[in-house]
Amino acid sequence: MAYELHYWPCIQGRGEFVRLALEEAGADYRDITREDGIDDMMAGLDAPPRPAFAPPYLRDGDLVVGQTAAILHYLGPRLGLVGESEADRIWTHQIQLTIADAVAEAHDSHHPIASSLTYADQTREAARRSADFRDERIPKFLGWLERVLAANPFGPRHLVGNRLSYADLSLFQLVEGLAYAFPQATERALAATPKVVALHRLVAARPRIAAYLASDRRLAFSEDGIFRRYPELDG
Amino acid sequence: MAYELHYWPCIQGRGEFVRLALEEAGADYRDITREDGIDDMMAGLDAPPRPAFAPPYLRDGDLVVGQTAAILHYLGPRLGLVGESEADRIWTHQIQLTIADAVAEAHDSHHPIASSLTYADQTREAARRSADFRDERIPKFLGWLERVLAANPFGPRHLVGNRLSYADLSLFQLVEGLAYAFPQATERALAATPKVVALHRLVAARPRIAAYLASDRRLAFSEDGIFRRYPELDG
């Protein structure tokens, strides 16, 4: 049976980390809201016995899994996108959770006060938060990923071991998002992280990923998503 | 060999979610920095081959696991604090990740601009963010936990199945922290979530947890931690 991904239909958002894994694996999946609208997703959100707090969530037969990192932890072994050992799996998951923290901070760079308000309602606070995100946090997160690559005993080609994992795909998406939202700050940070740049390129060149990125299944970044380009926040 | 917990020595913080699991299980563990200071923790943070991004991290022999939720996912089966099935384990983890999101938001209620700045540097922004956290987010998170309890086919005594899990312990700690930081707002929210209140009480009454809370191993909440009481932010 096909996996069902339930996520907002018009943005990449957190759902994109799941889409990339499904696409790389050539998995049979349905992106439910893009086919049928959001009614099913909204109804499923609060459905017993295991209501998800927020999209995205994945339905696999009777099982429903929410939280992006948990979805990838669940899919990893099924899609061949994580190592076999418990040590490799928990390390891959730890990297994913750290990327998830970076994504949450990228969101809060333009929404530091409340998700329920618009950007226009919090531009002054966003300018302050973005200055810190841009100057401190982007280099810190990318610098950590660089150190993870440098420390990999199998070499810096992948984050974990000698194979592609969902964490590599997520690094790609994090770099894509940061480069969209903060092009100048991200370019500066990437100048110090050549191994991150190389892995981003390697993922982009994977045949299924390249085909996906060129397809209409890949949504564009926009100012409705998590990574938003407000030029006044970059610099 | 004893588990080694590495976390800041003077605050509950995120480390407390791990401490509660170790204490409930009566596990053999060492709280390294409280015994020996932070040098080992800081050195271990950036140690190859698998450097953690931030404390807490757990050392179990040769394995190092960072990210609070990943630590609990790793410890759960070893401490008997999660169900046997993959479905129960991923659901417990999903709940933990949602609690982690609430904890991150609790932190940002007093530090909405930058962790590297003091509260005094961001009081105006903290007032705005806290108003939203207090009025919208606390009720939303506690309301979701209430629905999870109500939807549990085994009854509302526990979050998952008919047994105590690390997610129950984390619910306890979330409620403790919110009640410390936002006593008025949390009391209002808890009035609508009686099952959450009952589970909080059940955990507090567990013999090992009660002994731990009464011991000097339990640090006090303070304005150095994640949950901070600034009366001007409550209301």
pLDDT in tens, B117-173: 999 999 999 999 999 999 999 999 999 999 999 999 999 999 999 999 999 999 999
Structural domain that includes position B112? 86-215
A88 touches chain B (CB under 8 A): no
Mark whether B30 and B117 lie in a shared domain: no
Q: Do A50 and B151 touch (CB under 8 A)?
A: yes
Predicted confidence at residue A1, as pLDDT, reads 82
CA-CA distances (angstroms) from residue A69 to A20, A60, B231, B232? Answer: 13, 16, 35, 35
**Can you give the CATH number for the domain in which A189 is found?**
1.20.1050.10
> Between B70, B150, B153, which is nearest A93 by CB?
B70
Write out the H or E segment, with its range, that includes residue B60. strand B57-60
Is residue B48 scored above 90 in pLDDT?
A: no
Is residue B47 scored above 90 in pLDDT?
A: no
| Chain A partners within 8 Å of B128 (Cβ) | 113-114, 122, 125
Mark whether B95 and B179 lie in a shared domain: yes
Predicted confidence at residue B49, as pLDDT, reads 92
Place of tokens 């589970």: B199
Mark whether B179 and B92 lie in a shared domain: yes
Predicted confidence at residue A166, as pLDDT, reads 99
- Minimum distance, in Å, between the CA of residue B77 and any CA atom of chain A: 12
Mark whether B67 and B106 lie in a shared domain: no
Predicted confidence at residue A47, as pLDDT, reads 86
Three-state secondary-structure class, residue A86: helix
Question: What span, in angstroms and rounded, lies between the C-alpha atoms of A140 and A131?
Answer: 14
Per the structure, the count of domains in chain B is 2
Place of tokens 């808890």: B190
Reported residue count of chain A is 235
Predicted confidence at residue A46, as pLDDT, reads 83
CA-CA distances (angstroms) from residue A7 to A36, A142, A145, A214, B216? Answer: 12, 27, 27, 21, 46
The mean predicted confidence, pLDDT, of chain A is 97
Q: Do B129 and A117 touch (CB under 8 A)?
A: no
Predicted ipTM beyond 0.90: yes
The DSSP call for residue A148 is H
Mark whether B171 and B111 lie in a shared domain: yes
Q: List for chain B the helix, strand, coil content (%; round to 5).
A: 60, 5, 35
Residue A204 · residue A162 · CB < 8 Å: no
Is residue A48 scored above 90 in pLDDT?
A: no
Mark whether B105 and B161 lie in a shared domain: yes
Final residue of a structural domain among B79, B107, B142: B79
Question: What span, in angstroms and rounded, lies between the C-alpha atoms of B33 and A157?
Answer: 35
Three-state secondary-structure class, residue B106: helix
Tens of pLDDT, residue by residue over A225-235, are 999 999 999 98
Mark whether B140 and B185 lie in a shared domain: yes
| Chain B partners within 8 Å of A195 (Cβ) | none
Torsion of CA A219, A224, A228, A232, to 10 degrees: 140
User: Terminus-to-terminus CA distance in chain B, angstroms?
Assistant: 47
Residue B196 · residue B142 · CB < 8 Å: yes
Predicted confidence at residue B46, as pLDDT, reads 83
Nearest CA in chain A to B128: A113
> Between A87, A113, A141, which is nearest B125 by CB?
A113
B223 belongs to a structural domain: no
User: Terminus-to-terminus CA distance in chain A, angstroms?
Assistant: 47
Q: Which amino acid is at A148?
A: V
